[in-house]
Structure 1
């Protein structure tokens, strides 16, 4: 190396180090600001709730009088925010408050309002320098509007709070940056280091867009309730708004419980103004608790060998990984609908949603258990007639809640999926019945699944593993896509392995670049018997540089011809991000048998495919790596597939211990309908069902329901009596 080159390298290192130091200092400042702002926003929420509660109380006793404006508006002295985010000074109380009989808390509320916003308002209209000339102070002298009743007062307060929140973002974040001569545009530049833009993303509301470019700027709520975009694209965060893990999160979050970690991860994608932290915590707790999930960790990680772990995602009510996403999604739907309906007049029509989904086995039952009994929600689940396992079918059809409707379609899963997409693409039908999606096309499902990749990474790292790879049984691509986004978030995942069965369209893509539709082959892993992966479009969007025009061209071509091919650098990029293996039936059986005999661990056929792919990857890449391991994503409990497992083990089904909850399904009565493979047939069923529901007619006769309840209760009693008798013997 020449002297000039050496000098240049030293100078580069010096400049780089100084930049890193300044960025770290800036992030520390912004973190402090974020903490202060979060606290104030929480106080705002508490205040708004308090005012609404007082409004209802006052109406009931008829003590409403005068308006919110003091007769002599007070000049409230407040201190501006310092550059380190601290708020100085306290607001003085108004000199005179309205005489609201019976509302002793009015003064306290008014004072709290001013305390909350003190120091946060930027210089603007209505804010002038202190007349006394006290340095560093400004005063608030803008009069509050006169309003006639308490309901309007509350609206005024809420409007003020919304405005003040926006002003706080300016004064807490932008103003300090400018006061320190920081070039804000350079931090927002797409080429800036990810950690420099991190704090900015924490203050920005994440908006959602369609992969095909026709829909942009949706809120999280809109994205969840929309499901499939009107341009047939899939929704995901705007290109420049995908969040990153906060500094030190890999250390600070590593010991969190599953529930606490879920709140942290989801908070990055859901703005505080849409769902408060308190509400988000409540949603997470309602979704992941001991009544819903049989394991205290929700998603435990089990060590099977030195280099193979299993992330067990089957401890939910339907014994499948989809419970984790759909328990959350069901509660999310209910939360949004209740909030919408709370703002409506008592006699006004209620907001409702019609959930339409297609399932190859697990999604349907998980969606049904996540949404059963939810107010203002109707659920229509389509599944291929005679092509799901007996237990999977019974998990769906033994649910008799009025809002649950099982539809067996004379066709394949891909036919069911096509019907769902066609219904969502019908703008008038979608609007009339307010269609919502529970399939993995719904962004909230992907978000919920990102959490368990972060959690599993922490659990395996605790075992001394540095390089963590995930092997994912893959059909619709939603599960592994969540892993891809976890890596994009900042989790240092070494590799993602796409594990397929004979329906290997994804393996062929990552091996050859050819994404070509083939005829479905029916296998022992029915949830993966898919010839077109509905979530793959999101990955293709990332692969093409988030170019909606190119993506739309690709997908329209594929929809016409059934073929899509990539080559060159794009194929190399895809292969660098993901490995892939196709596992055939003989290998599935051998894997189930081997792990049961050698390691005393029993896989279902889907998870066995993940284990077989993990072994192949390990042979190629981990032979001499004691600090590396593969995590198999365990997608289902073996008890859902006893015929397959018994065949692999060469024993009778009766010799395999079955879970009591699954065993009890055998005696329960079922309810479903069969329809032709046509959009019109399903659309007509939805119309007829919704019309009956609106008319107050029960879809299940009272005698039928009573009989079903008696049979179900008797079945449970007989089962447990028999179980106790066997135990005594």
Structure 2
């Protein structure tokens, strides 16, 4: 299996794509073609556990890694999850289901990929690195940062630097990052939003002079953001696994189409669902759920992507994004894999903050997607109503998805079975969840956790309960223009 850039460069192997993170021409790596899942393979996977399913699917993309080696990676990665299955599917009402992706070490869906990525990257370094260390740069809107830190903590031959918006994550997300130990972890807040952090990281990746300076210091760049193929590939697995679980539970027949509703910011999670579709998974609709930063809702309505709009800080901060990097990969598929078309659109975005897609120019597959957005009031109502109706506690991101689902259902009456993707534990956002349920504002994050537990009876995860007793290790906050200087300072200190 080879990988090519959305902007024309390539090809490289899967392991090389993981090591590089982003292509040298600034594009994102995609498979040269999508491997197909046969009905026989799907039926065989019915009786496998999650780790076995992951091995079967990932070996199609990383065919240079022997199956037994990949199985050892998936076993070790998913042994860190508290649930026996990393992505259990919960039946809500016989028509809708919630896939829980928050049973990993940092209580967010990013764990599914970021517990595995260090193994993929270590394997790639053995084959392709030439003695240099790997410098992993991460921009986070909340969950990716902590998941990446935990995944790469103390991994030999790596340094990881995470940038987060100092005022753009929840207090508990911030504490999760600031208390991370490890001899190779570095966490820095920036005065700006996630788009500022992501733009800074991508600029460093595509600057030849920066790469040359890092090389002189003995480092090669890579990323743990979803721009890295090694982040996306493991996410494909849980969509296929959820479908198989529904078949196994006799909720659907093999071959029956299902819908997925995905809370979406940087477009990586729902893109993985689309890639599962490209492999042959029977999907009817992919519902793109956005918060008040509804740039994607507009895009899937009229083809206009316009990031020139007010930036809203919401109770679903991991979706507070106006520049969705992974949309480039979807556009590449929709325009018939035309790198010139992609370069033109991304050039427009860089220069003017917007571009427009003519529906006549793109594939009919675009109709697979439906875009909906939820206001803060919609999100709070979804949390409250869903708990009252189903005795199930939603985090704000999942609440956005629930709101989108019911709006879609009202508009279409679509009878298809639907899986709502739950991306984080509600306790990571205890303040906003508690306020949504009770109307009471509890500013202290740990008191909010206590009160939310008392009100709902939902157990507090150990990862949250233990935060109160951990030392703050990373408290630096810098101007967004100083990211590169900060990285050089980190590397010099760690010589």
TM-score, normalised to structure 2's length? 0.92
Shift of 1:335: 2.8
1:212 equivalent to 2:7? Answer yes
1:234 equivalent to 2:28? Answer yes
1:535 equivalent to 2:326? Answer yes
1:664 equivalent to 2:451? Answer no
Give the alignment of 1:316-715 within 5 angstroms.
316-338=104-126, 350-431=131-212, 432=215, 433-461=219-247, 462-465=249-252, 466-517=256-307, 518-570=309-361, 573=364, 575-622=366-413, 625=415, 628-650=416-438, 653=448, 654-657=450-453, 658-672=460-474, 673-678=476-481, 681-694=482-495
Contact 1:340 1:351 in 2 (8 A): no
1:259 equivalent to 2:51? Answer yes
Write the deviation string for residues 306-357 of structure 1: whole angstroms up to 9, x where unpaired. Answer: 211000000001100000011111222223335567xx8xxxxx33100001
Structure 1: give runs of 5+ residues left out of the alignment. 1-205, 345-349, 695-729
Q: Which moved more, 1:278-287 or 1:574-583?
A: 574-583
Contact 1:510 1:571 in 2 (8 A): no
Contact 1:397 1:670 in 2 (8 A): yes
Write the deviation string for residues 440-497 of structure 1: whole angstroms up to 9, x where unpaired. Answer: 0000111000000000011123333333100000000000000000000011111100
Change over 3 Å in CA distance of 1:330–1:321 after alignment to 2? same
Secondary structure of 1:663's counterpart equals: helix
**Aligned-partner Cα distance in 2 for 1:613–1:504:** 12
Write the deviation string for residues 280-322 of structure 1: whole angstroms up to 9, x where unpaired. Answer: 1111111111xx1000011100011121100000000110000
Contact 1:519 1:531 in 2 (8 A): no
Change over 3 Å in CA distance of 1:575–1:218 after alignment to 2? closer
Contact 1:510 1:574 in 2 (8 A): no
Shift of 1:615: 1.5
Question: RMSD over aligned Cα, in angstroms?
Answer: 1.6
Greater RCO, 1 or 2 (C-alpha within 8 Å, sep 6+):
2
Change over 3 Å in CA distance of 1:572–1:427 after alignment to 2? closer
**Aligned-partner Cα distance in 1 for 2:341–2:335:** 7
**Aligned-partner Cα distance in 1 for 2:387–2:363:** 37
Change over 3 Å in CA distance of 1:367–1:616 after alignment to 2? same
1:249 equivalent to 2:30? Answer no
Structure 2: give runs of 5+ residues left out of the alignment. 443-447, 454-459
Write the deviation string for residues 678-728 of structure 1: whole angstroms up to 9, x where unpaired. Answer: 1xx22222222222322xxxxxxxxxxxxxxxxxxxxxxxxxxxxxxxxxx
**Aligned-partner Cα distance in 1 for 2:140–2:61:** 27
1:281 equivalent to 2:71? Answer yes
Contact 1:510 1:579 in 2 (8 A): yes
Q: Which moved more, 1:461-470 or 1:419-428?
A: 461-470
**Aligned-partner Cα distance in 2 for 1:270–1:596:** 41
Q: Which residue of 2 aligns with 1:203?
A: none
Shift of 1:572: 7.9
**Aligned-partner Cα distance in 1 for 2:312–2:489:** 34
Report how many aligned residue pairs link the two structures.
Answer: 470
Q: Which residue of 2 aligns with 1:133?
A: none
**Aligned-partner Cα distance in 2 for 1:208–1:642:** 41
Write the deviation string for residues 67-108 of structure 1: whole angstroms up to 9, x where unpaired. Answer: xxxxxxxxxxxxxxxxxxxxxxxxxxxxxxxxxxxxxxxxxx
Shift of 1:575: 4.6
**Aligned-partner Cα distance in 2 for 1:496–1:247:** 22
Write the deviation string for residues 2-44 of structure 1: whole angstroms up to 9, x where unpaired. Answer: xxxxxxxxxxxxxxxxxxxxxxxxxxxxxxxxxxxxxxxxxxx
Contact 1:514 1:566 in 2 (8 A): yes
Q: Which residue of 1 aligns with 2:445?
A: none
Greater percentage in strand: 2
* Runs of 4+ residues over 4 Å off in structure 1: 338-341
Change over 3 Å in CA distance of 1:574–1:504 after alignment to 2? farther
Contact 2:18 2:124 in 1 (8 A): no
Secondary structure of 2:288's counterpart equals: strand
Contact 1:502 1:583 in 2 (8 A): yes
Write the deviation string for residues 342-383 of structure 1: whole angstroms up to 9, x where unpaired. Answer: xx8xxxxx3310000100000000000100010010000000
**Aligned-partner Cα distance in 1 for 2:43–2:409:** 27
**Aligned-partner Cα distance in 2 for 1:281–1:561:** 46
Secondary structure of 1:495's counterpart equals: strand
Shift of 1:616: 1.9
Q: Which residue of 2 aligns with 1:104?
A: none
Contact 1:331 1:370 in 2 (8 A): no
Write the deviation string for residues 532-576 of structure 1: whole angstroms up to 9, x where unpaired. Answer: 101110001111110001111111112101111122424783651
Q: Which residue of 2 aligns with 1:223?
A: 17
**Aligned-partner Cα distance in 2 for 1:488–1:537:** 16
Give the alignment of 1:140-179 within 5 angstroms.
none
Contact 2:262 2:286 in 1 (8 A): yes
Contact 2:334 2:366 in 1 (8 A): no
Secondary structure of 1:639's counterpart equals: helix
Q: Which residue of 2 aligns with 1:293?
A: 81
Contact 1:389 1:641 in 2 (8 A): yes
Contact 1:513 1:571 in 2 (8 A): no
**Aligned-partner Cα distance in 2 for 1:520–1:459:** 38
**Aligned-partner Cα distance in 2 for 1:562–1:381:** 25
**Aligned-partner Cα distance in 2 for 1:374–1:529:** 30
Q: Which residue of 2 aligns with 1:103?
A: none
